[in-house]
């Protein structure tokens, strides 16, 4: 592992805070087949990603409700009850983040997130606002990971060298995107493995 790595870049969703629509919709649609159909045919991941690209939640809910008026309340819940999809911090990850900050490691974040929900998340999880020197939010850039340009936005804005940064993400596709942009990268599968991976890069956690 290169000894020149001295900067850590975090993803946020399912690395630092948990997010899963099932947490909400298992309550709203108890039948697993009906729930699967709703989340894969109506409120899909692709639909949700458009908010991460900058579309407002009001517009998103309105457009989908016009197509599926019989599901108006279920569609609105995706936005109105968003926090029920986010039960809390990912176990152990925030402790690692805090240890790195205490050690003086430069910390950044790149996240696929809507502007509205990221504002709410920072209020609920204050460490999201206080831990990073800069956070690149997809909705602000109108770019999504693993697009190379979203990684380049962080590097350019902060005068960082790609090879000096290690990026952490739960998505293997995003990890490969970071590597294609010249960053080192760690595929996050849990806090214990993250500690071991960061130790290999020379960080004391």
**What secondary structure does DSSP assign to 131-169, as a single string?**
S-SEEEEHHHHT--TT-HHHHHHHHHHHT--GGGEEEEE
The CA distance from 106 to 151, in Å, is 16
How much is the pLDDT for 106? 98
| Mean pLDDT value of segment 172-185 | 98
Using 50, 70 and 90 to split pLDDT, how confident is the model at 2? very low
Give the span between the Cα atoms of 137 and 101, in whole angstroms: 20
Q: What is the pLDDT of residues 80-105, one digit of tens each?
A: 999 999 999 999 999 999 999 999 99
The tokens for 144 are 């999504």
What's the predicted TM-score (pTM) here? 0.95
Structural domains in the chain, sorted by start: 7-18+88-200 (3.40.50.1000), 22-85 (no CATH)
Contact between 15 and 168 (Cβ < 8 Å): yes
Are the C-beta atoms of 11 and 183 separated by less than 8 Å? no
Tokens 């990026």 belong to which residue? Answer: 167
């Amino acid at each position: 592992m290169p000894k020149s790595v001295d900067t850590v870049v975090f993803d946020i969703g399912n690395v630092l805070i948990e997010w899963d629509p099932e947490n909400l919709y298992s309550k709203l649609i108890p039948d697993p087949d009906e729930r699967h159909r709703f989340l894969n045919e109506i409120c899909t991941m692709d639909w949700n990603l458009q908010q991460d690209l900058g579309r407002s939640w009001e517009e998103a809910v309105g457009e989908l409700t016009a197509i599926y008026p019989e599901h108006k309340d279920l569609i609105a819940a995706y936005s109105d009850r968003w926090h029920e999809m986010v039960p809390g911090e990912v176990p152990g990850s925030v402790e690692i983040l805090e240890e790195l900050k205490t050690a003086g490691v430069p910390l950044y974040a790149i996240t696929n997130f809507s502007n509205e929900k990221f504002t709410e998340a920072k209020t609920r999880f204050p460490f999201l606002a206080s831990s990073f020197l800069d956070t690149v939010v997809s909705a602000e850039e109108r770019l999504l990971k693993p697009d190379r340009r979203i990684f380049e936005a962080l590097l350019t804005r902060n005068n960082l060298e790609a090879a000096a940064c290690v990026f952490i993400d739960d998505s293997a596709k995003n990890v490969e995107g970071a590597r294609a942009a010249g960053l080192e990268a760690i595929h996050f599968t849990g806090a214990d493995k993250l500690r071991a991976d960061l130790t290999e890069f020379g960080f004391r956690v």
